Amino acid sequence: MNRIDGKICVITGSTQGLGAAIAREFATSGAAGLVTLGRDATKGKAVAEAITADTDVPVHFVSADLGNIEDCRNVLAEADRVFGRVDVLVNAGALTHRGTILDTSPELFDRMFAINVRGPFFLIQETLKLMIRDGVKGAIVNIGSISAHAGQSFIS
């Protein structure tokens, strides 16, 4: 038995890359169910179906934009509706569009902040409400970037 056995896990950014890899790893490691999400419904449903086909773990995909607070709230409402609880939240989704300090528009800056900071905050808030309601001693993982440790010349 490992620490993921029987857990209900919500993984953001799980239509591709790191988020999809985490979802697959959780499924193969004994999770009881997954809620995956992302902006691209076609890719998201395909990833969810492939994980379920390969592992028999139920995966519920929710189309969501982390920049939209109502979408964030809906993700957790769907997790509660489908699985009845949440044990783990992994914030792996992010907007990676880049600009320099000289050319980043206010719109891009606001969109990056909404998706990379505000969205995870409200996902955590909704997750904690469910965990407290259900007495779940769960886990919340926020995946950041190496950029937090050292600047990069091409990132504003």
pLDDT digit string, tens, across residues 66-112: 999 999 999 999 999 999 999 999 999 988 777 788 988 999 999 99
Domain edges within the chain: 8-146
Q: How many CB atoms lie within 10 A of CB 33?
A: 23
pLDDT at 129: 98
Contact 63, 44 (CB under 8 A): yes
Q: Write the Ramachandran bin of 64: left for phi over 0, alpha for psi from -120 to 50, otherwise beta.
A: beta
Query: What are 98-153's pLDDT values in tens digits?
Result: 778 898 899 999 999 999 999 999 999 999 999 999 999 999 999 986 655 556 56
DSSP collapsed to 3 states, the chain: CCCCCCCEEEECCCCCHHHHHHHHHHHHCCCCEEEEEECCHHHHHHHHHHHHHHHCCCEEEEECCCCCHHHHHHHHHHHHHHHCCCCEEEECCCCCCCCCCCCCCHHHHHHHHHHHHHHHHHHHHHHHHHHHHHCCCCEEEECCCHHHCCCCCCCC
Query: What are 30-72's pLDDT values in tens digits?
Result: 999 999 999 999 999 999 999 999 999 999 999 999 999 999 9
User: Which architecture characterizes domain 8-146 according to CATH?
Assistant: 3-Layer(aba) Sandwich (3.40)
The structure tokens listed for 52 are: 């379920």
Beta bridge partners of 140: 89
